[in-house]
A and B are shown apart, each in its own frame.
Chain A
Amino acid sequence: MSTTEIDRQWTTKLRRRVTAKLPPEKLLPDTQPAYVSSWIYVFGVTTLSALMVVIATGCLLAIRGPQWWHGSGIGHFVNSMHLWSVEIFFFAMVIHLWGKYFMAAWRGGRSLTWVTGAVTFLVSILTAFTGYVSQTNFDSQWIATQAKDGINATGGGAYFNVLNLGQMLMWHIVLLPIAAVVLTGLHVLMVRSKGVVPPFADTASEMS
């Protein structure tokens, strides 16, 4: 195969494009800029860590099923871990969002990083909601019967039926987690590619 033929292959093009955008030293950097030494920068990685616990405990709940999480001590414990890691996930994500909003983190060609983060936030809310209606207890029944009126008022009740436990569970454990994880992955890769947004003072000194 000639060099020009190799250059034309989609695998060659894709590899060159990916390695140009994300060389290994950017993907796993040894150091970070000095301005990252602030507590406000820890909430992104806190959110990511909480997400890992959410997924790990969610997998355990999926393997063992509702009778286990309702009827055994260890099942209750894992169920509570799932709930509290979600609480930490949202707590950290909201502070991360506030911090990035006041830093105008979309500066310097980072608009898609901001957008993927914002969409992940919305997907996470929907994931949490479908989780609440999939608990298989009186709480989930109450939430579902209250929510159905809201969803029906939007005209979406025929497609997204909150009283349909099977549908809600599938959204909660398949579709929405895939969307959340893919979006989070893209978000992190974009942060690695463009770097952490500098404070306003650093941007001004870079420009002058």
Chain B
Amino acid sequence: MSWPAFSAALVPLDHLGHYLHWHWLLISVANLTVIVLMVVTFIVALLLPFPGRRRRKESR
């Protein structure tokens, strides 16, 4: 299977996108995925130790 055909099979763009609807809230799965990824990246950025930080602390 060629790459364009593979990517088209993976993310089909020839039909309507998926939406989540809960009371007044209507959001596409694609937008929700990006928001979740941003929240996860934000939390990881707060918790993940920065390389070389311990070394700099010890040298002080």
Q: Which residues of A contact B (CB under 8 A)?
A: 34, 37-40, 42-43, 91, 94-95, 98-99
Q: Do residues B60 and A40 form an inter-chain contact, with CB atoms below 8 A?
A: no
For B51, the closest partner residue in chain A by CB is A37
> Which of B37, B42, B56, B57 touches A98 (beta carbons < 8 Å)?
B42
Q: Do residues A95 and B41 form an inter-chain contact, with CB atoms below 8 A?
A: yes
B48 at the interface (CB under 8 A from A): yes
Residues in A with CB closer than 8 Å to B6 are none
Q: Give per-residue flags for B33-58: 1 if the beta carbon is below 8 A from chain A beta carbons, else 0.
A: 01001100110111010101100110
Q: Do residues B38 and A94 form an inter-chain contact, with CB atoms below 8 A?
A: yes
The 10 closest A-B pairs by CB, nearest first: A39-B45, A37-B53, A37-B50, A40-B45, A95-B42, A38-B50, A39-B48, A98-B42, A94-B38, A40-B46
Main secondary structure of the interface of A (DSSP, over half): helix
A99 to chain B, nearest CB (A): 7
Q: How many residues of B contact A (CB 8 A)?
A: 15
Q: Do residues B60 and A39 form an inter-chain contact, with CB atoms below 8 A?
A: no
For A38, the closest partner residue in chain B by CB is B50
Residues in B with CB closer than 8 Å to A38 are 45-46, 50, 53
Residues in B with CB closer than 8 Å to A34 are 53, 56-57, 60
Q: Do residues B53 and A99 form an inter-chain contact, with CB atoms below 8 A?
A: no
B30 to chain A, nearest CB (A): 11
